[in-house]
Amino acid sequence: MRKDDYPAYDWLVRCFCHLGNVFGFNSFWATKDKQVIQALPSFKFLVYDLIERKHLIEARQVPRLLYAFACLEYRSWHLLPTLLEHVEANLEKWRTPTLANMALTLALLGVGDDAPDHNQFGPPDLLSRDYTGLVSKLALEVHRRLLALQSASSSGPRKSPLHDSLGCMPFDYAGLAFALTLQGSYDL
């Protein structure tokens, strides 16, 4: 008798995110090391399990998954459309530091830039819709929030001396600026 075993999807997402964190931007792993990990059968099984039940991906998991993809330098055309749909649908719901981090991770993945015909995923006969300009949308949402904060009479409470009223640190704005530089949006 054959039995299929499906681990909890939250656990699979957590595993993938922890793997991405091991290869984070502050680690000393080379691209070749990441390619070796991606060639392992256990990595492929993990990604396959994520793809198989991608309809279970929740909006709260998307920023961490995108960060893990960027850290691992890995793009899955099966998962990216689902993740990017969540990004567009929840722009107003995420915190400002999360928006800045997602802009950076998308720019590092080469996804969502302003180049046309560059942001569709899948085989030629099953292409996803085009996600051109997604990084710019994230940056414009941050800009909208900054303008709303400036027009308000008070700037609101600060969480710490390093955080502004939106919860951002200078590092968050630097990451957003770097994302816009990577995609060549100097005039945004």
Q: What is the pLDDT of residues 104-136, one digit of tens each?
A: 999 999 887 777 667 777 666 666 777 888 999
What value does the CA radius of gyration of the chain take, rounded to a whole number of Å?
18
Number of Cβ within 10 Å of residue 166's Cβ equals 21
Asked if 117 and 69 touch (Cβ cutoff 8 Å), the reply is: no
Q: What is the pLDDT of residues 20-75, one digit of tens each?
A: 999 998 888 999 999 999 999 999 999 999 999 999 999 999 999 999 999 999 99
pTM for the model: 0.88
Rounded Cα distance, 16 and 74, in Å: 11
